[in-house]
Every structure is written in C-alpha cells, then in structure tokens.
Amino acid sequence: MSHIKNVKKTEELLDVLTRTDSPPKLRSYLDGLNPLPGGFAEYFNQLPKVQVLSKKDLIQKSGLDRTYAYHILNGTKQPSRDKIIALALAAGLDLTETQRALELTHEGILYAKNRRDAVLIYAVKNQLSVMEANDLLHHFGAAPLA
C-alpha cells in the first residue's frame, strides 16, 4: 500500500489552497499535488478489496454482462453510475471508496436526500450483495441497478 502513503485529505489541501495568495505559491501547491488516478478502472483495480477477487468472481457478483464488465475493468468502456455501484457492491467497497469511484467518472455521488441513493448508501454501508440491494430498492419502490 505504499502508493497510498503521504496522501493528504481533501480538507487539508483545501485549507492550504485557500491560504495561497500568489501565483508562485499556487505553482508550488500544484507541483506538490499527487496525480489523480487516470479514471475508474485505474482507481478501482488498485483497491486492495478488488485485488483479492478474481475478475471472474467480481463480475459474477456484480451481475453485469461479462464482456461489458471486462471492458469497464480494462478501461476501454466508461461505466454508468449504476454499473459503478454494482461493481462497488460486488467488491465490498466502503462508502468512501464508492463515492470516490463515482467522482472519478464524473457521475453523481450518492446523495442522502435522494430516496434511491439513500437505499444504495444503506446497501453499501451494510455490505449487501447486488441482488440484496436490488431487492431492497424494489421494496422501497425504487428502480433497480441497471
């Protein structure tokens, strides 16, 4: 996990950035930033919870089409919000990891004031399977993960 050490929290970086008061200080700040992962596939595949699963098991647990899922995992296809959530549930990601995956694809993060998202937040926090999450979504009258 050496690739994760010395990573500052967003709040810390924002504090430093808001105190930056000149272009040279801004340059110094920008030069000190660690590069973001290239996208969903790079981020997702480097997560320890994902690395311990075979791609076959991960895809099976996600309920996604096998070929399409492989394209997502190798970075040749950009996943939809629901596909990201299905993969996150299948891998057992926590809420922070799931939200980060959604941010990297410019998909909306799960929003607690949205009824469907609230059910999905519950599913992620409680490590539900995709099938269990879909059952819960159905129970509460929300659309299943597509």
Query: What is the biggest distance separating any 2 CA atoms in the chain, rounded to whole angstroms?
Result: 56
pLDDT value of position 20:
87
pLDDT value of position 36:
58
CB atoms within 10 A of CB 43: 18
pLDDT value of position 1:
39
> Domain locations in the chain?
8-37, 38-139
pLDDT value of position 31:
83
What dotted CATH number matches 38-139? Answer: 1.10.260
Please, where are the H alpha helices in the chain? 10-18, 23-31, 40-46, 48-51, 55-62, 66-73, 81-91, 95-104, 115-125, 130-139
Ranges under pLDDT 70 in the chain? 1-8, 34-38
* Chain centroid, CA 108 distance in Å: 11
Structure tokens at 109: 């993060």
Q: Who contacts 8 (Cβ-Cβ below 8 Å, separation ≥6)?
A: none
For 66-91, what is each residue's pLDDT tens digit? 999 999 999 999 999 999 999 999 99
pLDDT value of position 14:
84
Total-model pTM: 0.78
pLDDT value of position 35:
60
pLDDT value of position 32:
79
